[in-house]
Structure 1
Amino acid sequence: MELLVTMKSLKLLLILTTAAACSSATAEEILRSPDEKIEVSLRTDEGNVTYSVRLGGDAIIGPSSLGLKPNDLAPLEVAKVTRSSADNVWEPVWGSQKRYRDHYNEIQLKVEGDAAQTIIFRAYNDGIAFRYQIPESFKFSDQVYAHEASEISIISEKPTAWFPLSQVLVSDAVDLNTWESGNRKVNKNARYDFKPARIRTPFTVKLSEQACLSVHEAAVVHSDEAWLNLDGNTLTVLSNLKTAGGWVTPWRTIQIADKPGGLITSSLIVNLNAPCEFEDTSWIKPGVTLWDWRAHGAHADDGFEYGLNTESYIRFIDFAAEAEVEYLMLDAEWYGPERDPKSDPKTAIPEIDIEQVCAYAKSKGVGIWLYVNTKAFQNFDMDETFSVYRNWGVVGIKHGFLGGGSHAKNEFSHNVAKKCAEYHIMYVVHESEKPSGVERTWPNILSYEYVNSMLDSGTRPAATPSRVINNLFVFGLSGPVDRSCGMFDLDSYITREYCHRQIPSTVVSQTAQCLLFPSGLVTLPDFPDAYRRKADLFEFIAQLPMSYDETRVLDAEFGQHITLARQAGDEWFVGALADEAGRKTSVTLDFLEEGVTYDLTLYEDAPDAHYEYIGPMNKREAMTQKVTLEPQATRRELYQVKKITAKKGDMIPTVIAPGGGHCMWIRPQAATHLTR
């Protein structure tokens, strides 16, 4: 449950001003962020309402339109201007920070006339946001409010952008000055180098060495998701307000930072969402889960083959208890063909004694997550289903094939999440709607598959090392995302039933990604024996609490490298990635407590480790080339583990292999393991 704490003895300061305006008058209002580094100029001129933005005195967004209109040419008349400020601190149930500061200055522009509305504009230290509120006395009309004029006119000599090519694929770097339109159809599983008619968000742009921004939206609850259109260097919001519902639109957000790492530590998106709706949140516990889906067909060291059966799950549970991993997730088909409307999510297939599995897991202190397809939620009573799950002791649901994005599907997902909460069940959603910070309101939502899940689809291109880093600066800025990283058996997994393509990554990179990708739940794709074989490396993942007191980006550059540190209690976890070139650097431990000696475990790429796999990258490509994908030795699994001691200010050399990673587990000497 959230705690609202007043800072500087100030709950809410209201400074009211009234400014008469008409379509023929020009007026300007200046809105600054609390630290005054971001300055917004709001102007009304000849019936147009625009804004522009400066960062540190430099123009980064030129005059850009605002407002809801019947059409593009319709004038808006601003009749009143209201200013306010707020400075609060709230505590999330879980997240990347123990506390978030919700500190902003706000202007509200009251528009009168047929298209009556209030334009609400906020400036935070980490960005700006605006939304439109329609008076409750007005009946919503999709004709009166047919056109959303929202624009973002980027100012940059060479703007370089990264954005989603589909719901899961990230683009490579795009020079917006030379990017040309194309008429080809967009394939959701393929890369393209032409400008499409619609672009997903987050849309992340490097403006210069001193400025970057990311365009997204927050609090998408009673609305369709918005898209973007790019004309020159001006982005226009493409929205469908016919199904907006209620009287307020989602927030249009622009995260702003002087360095890439500032985008990752931004709290703008969650701050713009409503407070937690639950009084009791003690049952919401982020963590790590084992997962059966990619293990089908894997062979244990004793010859056992993993599949959809009780014995496989017993083995998973035994390892989870042994390694102190909190959860096991049973994926699709456990209750029959998932897309068959007659498959009952309360009845397991004959090969699985689901009640035995749940009871055994409970006896071992392991929580069970169950996959449920949307069809089962649509065709079977949810209360009956969740009542059965509660009796079994199920702790979480993975909701599959939502196909989110529309108003109806967004609300359906949120209703499932709220229904889960009635039964104290946590929730992740796949084929999902766009994350927009609603996990603040419903904190049992731990993750979304709004990112390239490593092994999905035999035709989808793999995420190269540089693309994995860019995933953090695009999909990772939207909220918690389920990448299902952590594959350890990189040389042999390709023969399994649901492993469709090779992974260009070292095993230490796989380990670091479990820390780096924001999520309340790490879903591990490998089987117990693979983790036992590398128990010294798996130790890092097993210790991750997935909820942190503080997060710092120590060093980062789009598409090249990132080093990030997260604190939990008196311990720190550090993860780093490098692109195809690898990296030699060092980490300065200036974030540690003075006068304390720390034990450090370093999880490193071996000197000759490398991300490359030579040959076809996926099964479809192998079939075309008439090649059989078979296990073969690579340098992806080469790693080493070291133990050292250090103090605040020490510099730790880090050598990252091409496409590799680096991890540190830091804890005070003589301290016990983190209690989770």
Structure 2
Amino acid sequence: MRKLCLLFLLIGTYCYAGERKYTVDSPDGKIQLAIIQTDAGELTYQLSVKRKQVIDASALGFKTEDGLTFPFRGWKMGKVTRNKVNSVWKPLWGKRAVVPDKYNEMKLSFVNEAKSSDALEVVARAYNEGVAFRYVSPQDAGSALELTTFNFAGDYTAWFYNGERHNIGPERLTETDGERLPVMTVKAADDLYLAVHEACLDEGEPLKLKSEKGQCLFSVSVKPHLLHAGYQSAWRVVLCGNRPGDLVDSHLLELLNPEPSGDYDFSWVKPGVALWDWRINGAQWEGFHYTMSYPSWERMVDFAAEQGFAYLVLDANWYGPEFEQGSDPVKGDKARDVRKLIQYGKQKGVGIWLYLNDVGGRNYPLEETLKQYGAWGAAGVKYGFMAGDGEEKNTRTKSITEMCARYKLLVDFHDYPVHPYGQMRTWPNAVTREYCKAQLDGHEIFYPKTFVTSVFVNMIAGPIDMNNGMFDLRQGKTTRSDNNQEVPSTVVSEAARTLITFSGATIIPDIPEYYRKYPALLRFLSAQKMPWLESKTLDGEIGEYIVMMRQAEDGVFLVGAATNEESRTLRVRLSFLGKGDYEAEIVEDGENAHYLSNRETIKVSKKKVTRNEVLNIKLAPGGGACIRIGKEIKQ
């Protein structure tokens, strides 16, 4: 037995009295996931980061409808398989052009000695950015409840997604009482941040977490799974980083999803900035009255073409009142004008997105509708107000995404969508979704602190559609038809947020004239040419501030900074630049700027910089900063 244990030690398996421990380490050796089988057959796991245990013994496995748990007594290890991968993923679009795909994998196969047909596999991976594990059922095993828990080793601080409300948190783990939604972002130490989510949700209900007050233990709270032959659970993921920005910058969730099917060619997928007709409705400028109709649409297309913006999104009611049963999404109301607009957009190089409400999606043949949109030449579909429980929505979301891919349509899901779980790798046409409170819908809850919390919680899940970039920030009610309340932000922060928010369709809500009022900020918006070559969160603290750098497709570097309700001066290091001299155009909040009372004042400066430079950037309360850097910056 002693020789056998020595052999196991060399391959990452340890023998102790009454238990066996199987470990998998990240390629850099800083993260270790350990799976432990007790003598009674129970399975638990532990997670250590930089030799510090951050998740204590936590449950793995399932419970059947008749109350039996498995693996348990009588279940033995059948086989341990190990694998190493050192590759790269080159996404069509993402946070960067090249994503390292490097991990160590361990597969544990368990069998029931009393009934050989009972089997379960646990697959675990360790990356430098975190760990993930999933269950695989080789045979039909009936319905079973997942027992996975996350038993944190300390009373850490956490933040949670909270639907279309301000995020929950900061909250001590022992203060949590009830159900929470991921992403769950955790501060375990000043130099250690974690995030709990899931990846590759092939079937079943989206992840929910549950805890009781006074505990640091969170359990997976989803409906029982039907463990059929070939069943694969979603990956349970714990991202790890030294700073919260490390979690934001990761593509780990996408890496845990498969590559696109060979049946689809996604070369047509193009990310980009999009104008939007919903918030322009009612705006007035020098005698022109914006409405959701052809004259305004044509004006927006012209502006998009002028600035190099990729798209115009047409929102609700273009085919009739969106919630009326008889509104035909192909023949209704302004359908003829829409077809005309799509052709006009093609001449100008601007794609047109079409809104589709779930009522129209269900009352009319959905695939025929999407096929027709594709035949018209539409660029994408914004799908709203999907009905059903979590499992039903997940199934329908996947089906609609695949149909959209078939007809070369991008897709954006709105109104309490299924959370992103890395699906943009398999379906690059799934460019964004409203897994957040779109800021113009939520004046009662969306304040500067909401933004600088959401980007460290919601955005970890994947691309989100927040609709930042309103430039009409005058005091008092606006003339907008749908929501005429003031936006609590500064115009510089609004521009910065468009860059900070990761999305394959950056949808901005204002009319051309307000963008033209601020030429330097408009240049910043127009410079957001995707796909990004690189992205990096340069600095930030959850709920306080964030500084994001993204390098555009043409090589221009863009930096956006945003703060909460507090003013602050940030030191922005330019070490991300290459060698040589660059020009920087810097836009800051003007003197006495404030997100409640003086929103539209800006200060613009230009200077020569190198990669050794450190810029001191001043942000007003609720404000921001925008920096555009290139070898030659043109006006």
TM-score normalized with structure 1 length: 0.86
Contact persistence 2:84–2:104 (CA under 8 A): yes
Aligned with 2:29 (options 13, 26, 36): 36
User: Aligned runs of 1:380-459 on 2, under 5 Å?
Assistant: 380-403=364-387, 406-431=390-415, 432-456=417-441
Distance 2:205 2:71 in 1: 25
Contact persistence 1:20–1:78 (CA under 8 A): no
Distance 2:329 2:165 in 1: 27
CA RMSD of aligned residues (A): 2.4
How many angstroms does 1:75 deviate by? Answer: 4.9
Distance 1:261 1:575 in 2: 14
Structure 2 counterpart of 1:607: 591
User: Aligned runs of 1:277-288 on 2, under 5 Å?
Assistant: 277=261, 279-288=264-273
> What SS class does the counterpart of residue 439 from structure 2 fall into?
coil
How many angstroms does 1:206 deviate by? Answer: 0.4
How many angstroms does 1:350 deviate by? Answer: 5.1
Contact persistence 2:258–2:425 (CA under 8 A): yes
Aligned with 1:466 (options 436, 449, 460): 449
Instruction: Describe the superposition over 1:72-107 as per-residue Cα deviations: whole angstroms up to 9, x where unpaired.
Output: 755522413222221111111100011111211122
User: Aligned runs of 1:68-467 on 2, under 5 Å?
Assistant: 68-70=62-64, 71=67, 75-76=71-72, 77-79=75-77, 80-113=79-112, 116-135=119-138, 138-142=139-143, 146-156=144-154, 158-166=155-163, 169-177=166-174, 179=175, 195=177, 197-231=178-212, 232-242=215-225, 247-277=231-261, 279-300=264-285, 302-349=286-333, 353-403=337-387, 406-431=390-415, 432-456=417-441, 461-467=444-450
Structure 2 counterpart of 1:481: 464
Distance 1:668 1:403 in 2: 50
Contact persistence 1:222–1:243 (CA under 8 A): no
Q: 1:384 to 1:646 in 2, by over 3 A?
A: same
Aligned with 2:483 (options 499, 503, 507): 499
Distance 2:11 2:391 in 1: 36
Contact persistence 2:166–2:445 (CA under 8 A): no
Aligned with 2:599 (options 610, 617, 636): 636
Contact persistence 2:61–2:69 (CA under 8 A): no
How many angstroms does 1:599 deviate by? Answer: 1.7
User: Aligned runs of 1:52-71 on 2, under 5 Å?
Assistant: 52-70=46-64, 71=67
> What SS class does the counterpart of residue 469 from structure 1 fall into?
helix
> What SS class does the counterpart of residue 407 from structure 1 fall into?
helix
Question: What runs of 5+ residues in structure 2 fail to find an aligned partner?
Answer: 1-8
Q: 1:18 to 1:489 in 2, by over 3 A?
A: closer
Question: What runs of 5+ residues in structure 1 fail to find an aligned partner?
Answer: 1-14, 181-194, 613-633
Structure 1 counterpart of 2:3: none
User: Aligned runs of 1:508-519 on 2, under 5 Å?
Assistant: 508-519=492-503
> What SS class does the counterpart of residue 564 from structure 1 fall into?
strand
Distance 1:126 1:473 in 2: 15
Structure 2 counterpart of 1:618: none
User: Aligned runs of 1:546-557 on 2, under 5 Å?
Assistant: 546-557=530-541
Distance 1:394 1:445 in 2: 15
User: Aligned runs of 1:9-20 on 2, under 5 Å?
Assistant: none
Structure 2 counterpart of 1:654: 617
Task: Say if 2:517 is the partner of 1:530.
Answer: no
Contact persistence 1:404–1:434 (CA under 8 A): no
Q: 1:62 to 1:20 in 2, by over 3 A?
A: closer
Structure with a larger share of its residues in strand? 2
TM-score normalized with structure 2 length: 0.91
Distance 1:524 1:370 in 2: 16
Structure 2 counterpart of 1:625: none
How many angstroms does 1:172 deviate by? Answer: 3.3
Task: Say if 2:562 is the partner of 1:565.
Answer: no
Contact persistence 1:223–1:244 (CA under 8 A): no
Q: Percent identity?
A: 34
Aligned with 2:559 (options 574, 579, 592): 574
Contact persistence 1:273–1:441 (CA under 8 A): yes
Contact persistence 1:16–1:84 (CA under 8 A): no
How many angstroms does 1:127 deviate by? Answer: 0.6
Aligned residue identity for 2:489: S
How many angstroms does 1:490 deviate by? Answer: 1.5
